[in-house]
Structure 1
Amino acid sequence: MEVFYYMVFGILAAVVAAAELSKSNKDRINTPSTFNVFKNNYLFVYSLMMAGDWLQGPYVYYLYTTYGYGKGDIGQLFIAGFGSSMLFGTIVGSLADKQGRKRACITYCITYILSCITKHSPQYKVLMLGRILGGIATSLLFSAFESWLVAEHNKRGFEQQWLSITFSKAIFLGNGVVAILAGLLGNTLVDALALGPVAPFDAASCFLTIGMFVILFTWTENYGDPSESKDLFTQFRGAAVAIASDEKIALLGAIQSLFEGSMYTFVFLWTPALSPNDEDIPHGFIFATFMLSSMFGSSLASRLMARQTPRVESYMQIVFAVSAASLLLPIVTGVCWDSGVLFSYLFYVVVPSPNFANFQQFLVAPSNVKGGSISFAGCIQLLGFCAFEACVGLFWPSIMKMRSQYIPEEARSTIMNFFRIPLNIFVCVVLYNVDAFPMTVMFGMCSLFLFIACLLQRRLMAISDKPKSEDRASMKERDSEAEPLNI
């Protein structure tokens, strides 16, 4: 089965290369040099920020185990990270809109560097502080940078369509190329150079420091609402009112939470799904394969968004449907396993044959057999998981594009962090009850959420097709109701 990993990786690498090299003029948008300089500057910074994040991911759990902490203690550390992102995310998002997005991006760098420094201490309280700082930094990473980009793009007078170029390239590089290179670098530092599991965190600090200085000397400041100074509570309330009063924003938030909640749950589940009997699987190589799939998705997204049709709201319905189907595979293979066992025994009764009697071995190893290579069912699941990662690659630039269209500029960071509140609650609940439910139930729940996201996306598509005149009329009506009478 080891050849299977190389075959999947090689095919995906060839597909990604072919997708990039085969882009026609219809798939490309000609842009002036001024925009290209701006875009490349942002992509360089964003790649450095993502390198700092990706270097840490594969080694957080491993580092905690080397300090002697068990699964329960590590689970509490992870919950602290997601919990701090939920509690402080909206606050730091509001501060980003009020105090400036450039300052928020610099704050991200400083906060994440401090989080990396805490990894040198084996003390549980220090590690807990590091997780809290990491949660705050994550909120800034997924709100402040995008908010700065959209505001700066519009301030410089660039065409709205050009945003899709920056979004798709950012995901292709940050969640694809950089993720693979960061994994290889981390593996070299820990294994080849034997610098220990804390070495990737030190390397992440270096990348974050470089990116921080680039931001300091090349970025300009922009704000959520420069026309008036609002206090934090007023800004927070305004963002909540915007979500409650605009169905498009509420739908977008629900869609994002459902998809990202399923995605983060998948991060915890794919390893036991592919090795239910402790099969020997190459985790790093599989991770690189997933990142290649994500690169293919982002490449496909850039091709789709460069054209007038299909619209983002349209093709994302298919993306959510495919992702829901791909996460059903662990359940389907489980049913096939039960059916395969029954079939093999029935056939053995009629036609005794060791080949068919051992048909169950072809599907998955029995529960009392440990180790060995990946099963046939695991191979099928791996292909499905690659399809899901391709959907992830499609999702990120597409959701960024829709956010730039529907979220008001004055409270962009605040609203984007509002979206992460249900996401973080969901992930914390999953982490807390990860041993309470069978794995098939967890995958079934994720698939259901993705199917609901598909239905909500269909609703968003229908609303976005309404004539803009109706939207303007409804806005004027709301404004007239909100204005006080001057007597």
Structure 2
Amino acid sequence: METFYFLVFGGLAAVVAALELSKTSKDRVNTSTPFNSFKNNYLIVYSLMMAGDWLQGPYVYYLYSSYGFDKGEIGQLFIAGFGSSMLFGTIVGSLADKQGRKRACVTYCITYILSCITKHSPEYKVLMLGRILGGIATSLLFSAFESWLVAEHFKRGFDQQWLSVTFSNAIFLGNGLVAILSGLFGNLLVDNLNLGPVAPFDAAACFLAIGMAIILSSWTENYGDPSENKDLLSQFKGAAIAIASDEKIALLGAIQSLFEGSMYTFVFLWTPALSPNDEEIPHGFIFATFMLASMLGSSIAARLLCRSSIKVEGYMQIVFVISSASLLLPIVTNFLVAPSGVKGGGISFSGSIQVIGFCVFEACVGIFWPSIMKMRSQYIPEEARSTIMNFFRIPLNIFVCVVLYNVNAFPITVMFGMCSIFLFVATLLQRRLMVIADSHKTRSLDWTATATKDMEDAEEEPLNVG
């Protein structure tokens, strides 16, 4: 493996280690023993769930290619996954609120295990079924677990500030350390042990089964809407009204859709972007490097979220600007560096530059996840949390489906440019969210001050006994 990959990985690892070892009391939040026990249980489950997801990530495109499908057919398979998430996501989210978040988390495990099993078949229809099941599972992964956590956190009477600790730790472990280990483990299974590109999917199914056993044995059930008689249509209507009536929720949904849409498009594009001439690249190791960059981002986010003086709505504007600039690198290198016509070989000079830029983007992703979780816990009402969160995924999935459907119609540079524009729009929307949040907070403080003054004036007036 080329020295370049080890240098990038080693440099990122050194920075992450330095950040973690240099933490002071200002970078930590004092919590209780019962909370730590609750948090650690959730982190174990979340890490296993993410291991089941991350093991598959680097090898989905590669597996389909090994079965002989071209980029257009692979794009259609990806569309099936995102389309399934769009069609069924809101339904499963509402069922999670009504039937129970714990049941929804178990359903995620079962659905994703079945999706992994389908990867053994080279039949296009079977793989399509697997993508549909995977889309349903993804909707549950990014709504049911967070909804269960937030509800259980407040049900047990823990401080709201402590949610940031769980969020940042979950991303640091689940989207960082576990993702790195998953990438390296996948690389071991496929490249070192030569077990084939389907081996990571079998390993993923095993981790999901272990996580499901822990959920069944240690989690309690919680629900969203307390009304047992509320049907799905009423839940949809209530969620839509909440989004339409509160600009903060609508802005948050738009920001999430724009960023995640760009992120999922990047997941599809990074492999062909780094190997335009079929260069030999270590997929698992590069993926592990990206996840180390994400780990760096989550470590930075943990420090930012611990400081009450720093507003999440403020620093996320900077994060979106940097992420927008990082995805412009494939366009810049395309103009400045002459493309190589040689097939095969190692990674090109422009590819090396893009790897560094993609690491910057992944660091922004690491900051994004705990930060968006924090904002969702502040702005989204508890009674329809899963439903609203899956509503957010509808425009996200439409965006990704449109991009993937036209994957052969546009050059990769055009799609990266589109993602960069959407991330810049997210910056503007984040600015608007901060302005609205500040104005609401100011009005709330003014009202409190006025009410307090009126009470003090009333106490000072002499009692009129007639």
TM-score by length of 2: 0.92
Which residue identity does 1:166 align to in structure 2?
T
Provide the rounded CA distance (Å) in 1 between the counterparts of 2:154 and 2:25: 25
Contact 1:364 1:375 in 2 (8 A): no
Provide the rounded CA distance (Å) in 1 between the counterparts of 2:342 and 2:62: 25
Q: For residue 469 of structure 1, report the CA deviation from its aligned partner.
A: 7.8
- Root mean square deviation of aligned Cα: 1.9
Alignment of 1:122-201 (within 5 A): 122-201=122-201
Where does residue 464 of structure 1 map in the other structure? 437
Contact 2:151 2:222 in 1 (8 A): yes
Provide the rounded CA distance (Å) in 2 between the counterparts of 1:122 and 1:438: 28
Change (3 A) 1:296 1:194: same
Contact 1:364 1:376 in 2 (8 A): no
- Greater CA deviation, 317-326 or 191-200? 191-200
Where does residue 248 of structure 1 map in the other structure? 248
Q: For residue 189 of structure 1, report the CA deviation from its aligned partner.
A: 2.4
Change (3 A) 1:299 1:191: same
1:185-244 deviation line (CA, Å, top 9, x unaligned) = 222223333333322222111111111111111111111122553111000110011101
Q: For residue 371 of structure 1, report the CA deviation from its aligned partner.
A: 3.2
Contact 2:187 2:283 in 1 (8 A): no
1:253-311 deviation line (CA, Å, top 9, x unaligned) = 00000001111111122233333333333332221111111000000000110111211
Provide the rounded CA distance (Å) in 1 between the counterparts of 2:334 and 2:60: 31
Where does residue 328 of structure 1 map in the other structure? 328
- Residue ranges of structure 1 left out of the alignment (5+ in a row): 338-362, 475-487
Alignment of 1:6-405 (within 5 A): 6-335=6-335, 337=336, 363-366=337-340, 368-405=341-378
Q: For residue 77 of structure 1, report the CA deviation from its aligned partner.
A: 1.7
Provide the rounded CA distance (Å) in 2 between the counterparts of 1:199 and 1:273: 25
Q: For residue 26 of structure 1, report the CA deviation from its aligned partner.
A: 0.2
Residue in structure 2 matching 1:448, options 401, 407, 421? 421
Where does residue 450 of structure 2 map in the other structure? none
3-state SS in 1 of match to 2:237:
helix
Residues paired across the two proteins, number: 447
Provide the rounded CA distance (Å) in 1 between the counterparts of 2:210 and 2:53: 14
Provide the rounded CA distance (Å) in 1 between the counterparts of 2:383 and 2:134: 26
- Greater CA deviation, 57-66 or 247-256? 57-66
3-state SS in 2 of match to 1:466:
helix
Contact 1:102 1:221 in 2 (8 A): yes
Q: For residue 320 of structure 1, report the CA deviation from its aligned partner.
A: 0.3
Which residue identity does 1:271 align to in structure 2?
T
Contact 1:254 1:419 in 2 (8 A): yes
Change (3 A) 1:429 1:472: farther
TM-score by length of 1: 0.88
Q: For residue 412 of structure 1, report the CA deviation from its aligned partner.
A: 0.3
Which residue identity does 1:47 align to in structure 2?
S
Contact 1:364 1:378 in 2 (8 A): no
Deviation >4 Å, runs of 4+: 468-474
3-state SS in 2 of match to 1:160:
coil
Which residue identity does 1:23 align to in structure 2?
K
Identity %: 81
Q: For residue 472 of structure 1, report the CA deviation from its aligned partner.
A: 11
3-state SS in 1 of match to 2:439:
coil
